[in-house]
Amino acid sequence: MSKALTTVSEMLARNLNVLTQQPLLVCGLLEDNLPTMLADAGPAPRVFTTDYSYYQWQKEQGIKDIEFGIQPNPQTVSALLLLMPKAKAEAEYLLAACLPLLAQGAMVFMAGDNKGGVKSTPKLLAPYCDQVVKLDSARRASLYQAQLTRPASPFSITQWQKGYSIAQESLQICTLPGVFSAGHLDSGSQLLLENLAPLSGRVLDFGCGAGVIGASLLKRQPELTLECIDINALALEATRLTLAHNQLANQAKVYASDGLSQVTGSFNHIVANPPFHAGLKTFYHTTETLLNTAKDYLVPGGSLTLVANAFLPYPELIEKSFGHCETLAINGKFKVYHATRR
């Protein structure tokens, strides 16, 4: 996170006279100090985010009216500003979650990178608004404005749940919009699960997503003490749903963590299919931090096992931290790495 404004926020800065005519509920792909900029120019916004890292950072910046979760608290708001997330399905979800808080006639703003799907705004708002106007376009970003003419239906997260089966693991996976591997078992996780030796003791599922790895581990070895962490509220909820659907809910602890920051104690094993995208950008920091610090969270003899795109330079980082790195498996796109704290 940075105090420097993104190109989208720089464009929004040119439109503060319109945006700050009423208190805003701001949500979506938040990456900078946009809430502070809005507060300096007018009424302080209310901020809703599904990103725990952003939530923590904004709390540190002094933003008090910020919420982290799967939907905003049911308090009426005057207007909405949605920063286009990377997945269209997540944008649809956020609109469905936030628009019921607005009265008919309230203003709705959507902004984002032109390469990130913001051009679909008229179609996204069509169920709720009669006319959508492009207010501005600059630095490869666009801002749209509309008026809520049809009240949104009450929000129910069950309407957004989807799922799929993993026959070889005898599991039903529950997913939510924007969660990694939402439609099917990704080949990276499959390669990891096919090459994961039996584990023991306390195990951490790092970046749990829809709970595929964690649920698979518990299905194989119900005696494990499992903790599942992720930065995304929708991922954490999907993991909870997956565990519950497979009668595993009482066997795991699921919680938000920015990397390993909220984790305490030591583990026998850390298992991960870590992300390397944040928004539209390639982003390695979270995984690199994991590789550099995982050893400190393992008991002597404890192990780190992860799957990653084959082109990523992770073996060097693992070797630097652990003194060695073993490649357990390779397919056309992914590699599974393993290291033990000696």
Average of per-residue pLDDT across 9-27: 96
3-state secondary structure of 42: coil
Amino acid making up residue 91: A
User: Which helix H or strand E contains 108, and what residues bound it?
Assistant: strand 102-113
User: Which helix H or strand E contains 192, and what residues bound it?
Assistant: helix 187-194
Q: How confident is the model at residue 139 (pLDDT cuts 50, 70, 90)?
A: confident
Closest CA to 271 of 324, 320, 208: 208
pLDDT of residue 278: 44
Q: How confident is the model at residue 4 (pLDDT cuts 50, 70, 90)?
A: confident
The overall average pLDDT reported for the chain is 93
Position 307 pLDDT exceeds 70? yes
- pTM for this model (two decimals): 0.94
Q: How confident is the model at residue 249 (pLDDT cuts 50, 70, 90)?
A: very high
Average of per-residue pLDDT across 27-43: 95
Residues 6+ apart with CB under 8 A from 88: 117, 120, 124
Higher pLDDT, 282 or 45: 45
C-beta separation of 260 from 290 below 8 A = yes
Tell me the backbone φ, ψ of residue 203, rounded to 5 degrees: -125, 140
